[in-house]
Amino acid sequence: MALTILKVGKFDMLPELEAQLKERGSYYVDNALSESERAEVRARTDIVVASGGSQFKAPDFDSCPNLRAIVCFSVGYDGIDIPSAIAHNVFVTHTPNVLNDDVANTALMLLLNCTREAKAAHDYIERGAWGKEPALPLTTSIGGKKLGIAGLGRIGKEIAARAAAFKMEIGYYGRHQQADVSYRYFGSLQELATWCDVLLLAMPASPDNFHCVDRTILTALGPQGYLVNIARGSIVNTADLIWALDHQIIAGAGLDVFEQEPGVPEGLQHRSNVSLLPHQGSATKETRQAMANLVIANLDAILQGKEVLTPVPGTRKI
C-alpha cells in the first residue's frame, strides 16, 4: 500500500523536502483539503509532517488511526501532544542541533539591532537625513553588560559562547544548575531578570512557562534592560511587554517569535528600540536544508525499521 503523508500546520515547506516526501508516498496538505477530503485522507494517513507552529492534539490522533510517525521540520514540538503520541505508539522526531548556529546568530543579531537601534539608523539614511538632520541619539554598548539566558540548552549555550566573545558577562536560569557550566546560575527567572541587562529567552515553550515573562519580570529587568526572544511567543505576555515599552519599564526588545504568528501587534511596531523578525531563526538555505535532510533521515529510518536519529525525548525510538 502506498504511503499517505500529510503536512499539518502553516509553514513554508522547503521545495526539496516536499519533492523527497512525494517520492515516498501520496502527499497532502491538511489545510488545503475540504472537510470531507480531510476526514478521508486522515483516515489513511501514515506520516504527518509538522513544524514548530503545528498543532496536533488528542482529537487529531483519533482522526488518524493509521498514524505511524510525526516528523517535525523544527526543533520545537510544543504544539504536539506528546503523551498522546506515546499512548498511540507513534514516533515523533525533530531537528535538534543542526539549527543551533543560525538561531544563536539570530539572537545576537536581534540583541545588536535593538541596542544599537539599527532600524532607526537605516531609516535615517534612507530618508536622506544624514548631514541634514541632527545626528542620531547615542545607543547602548553590550560589552561588559550582563546577559541572562533563560534556558541554557543546546541553543542557549551557543548564544552564551557568542555573547562571551562580545565581552558580555553570562548568567542563566533553568530548572537545574548544570554541573559542567561555569556561568552564574540563578534559581528563578525573577532573580535572573533583576541581575541582567539583557534577558534572553531560549527555553522550549511548555504549559509551565506560558506568559512567564510578565509585568513582574519586565519590572525586574528594569529601564536599562532589554528583552530578546528567539524561543516562542507564548512565553511572553505581549500586552505586558507593550505596556513595559510604552512606560519605559524596559529599554527595548528584539523579537523573532510572537504569540499569534503570522502577525505582530501594532503596539510592538515602529519603535526605534524594538527589532522585529518574522520567525527567521533557522531561515537560511543551509540550515533549512540540514533540517530537511534530518527529516528524511528520520523518516527513512522509520520506514526501514531502524532506530530513529533524533526522537523527541520520551517517544518511540525503534
Catalytic residues: 232, 261, 279
- Stretch binding ligand 8YV (CB under 6 A), from 57-65, 73-81, 111-119, 300-308: 73-81
**Cβ distance to ligand 8YV smaller for residue 5 or 250:** 5
Report the distance separating Cα 292 and Cα 288, nearest Å. 6
Which of 11, 185, 210, 243 forms a contact with ligand 8YV (CB under 6 A)? 11
Which of 6, 75, 249, 251 forms a contact with ligand 8YV (CB under 6 A)? 75
Name the strands in the sheet holding 26-29, side by side, starting at the edge strand that comes first in the sequence.
Answer: 26-29, 4-7, 47-50, 69-72, 91-93
Which of 25, 76, 174, 254 forms a contact with ligand 8YV (CB under 6 A)? 76
Say whether residue 73 binds ligand 8YV (CB under 6 A): yes
Say whether residue 7 binds ligand 8YV (CB under 6 A): no
Scan residues 263-302 and list those touching ligand 8YV (CB under 6 A): 279, 281-282
Report the distance separating Cα 229 and Cα 231, nearest Å. 6
- Stretch binding ligand 8YV (CB under 6 A), from 68-76, 110-118, 212-220, 237-245: 68-76
Scan residues 95-114 and list those touching ligand 8YV (CB under 6 A): 99
- Of 89, 52, 82, 50, the closest CA to residue 67 belongs to 89
Whether 63 and 84 have beta carbons less than 8 Å apart is answered as: no
**Cβ distance to ligand 8YV smaller for residue 168 or 295:** 295
Say whether residue 210 binds ligand 8YV (CB under 6 A): no
**Cβ distance to ligand 8YV smaller for residue 76 or 252:** 76
User: Total number of residues binding ligand 8YV (CB under 6 A)?
Assistant: 11
Q: What is the DSSP string of 141-190?
A: --TTPEEEEE--SHHHHHHHHHHHHTT-EEEEE-SS--TT--SEEESSHH
Catalog residues that contact ligand 8YV under the rule CB under 6 A.
11, 51-52, 73-76, 99, 279, 281-282
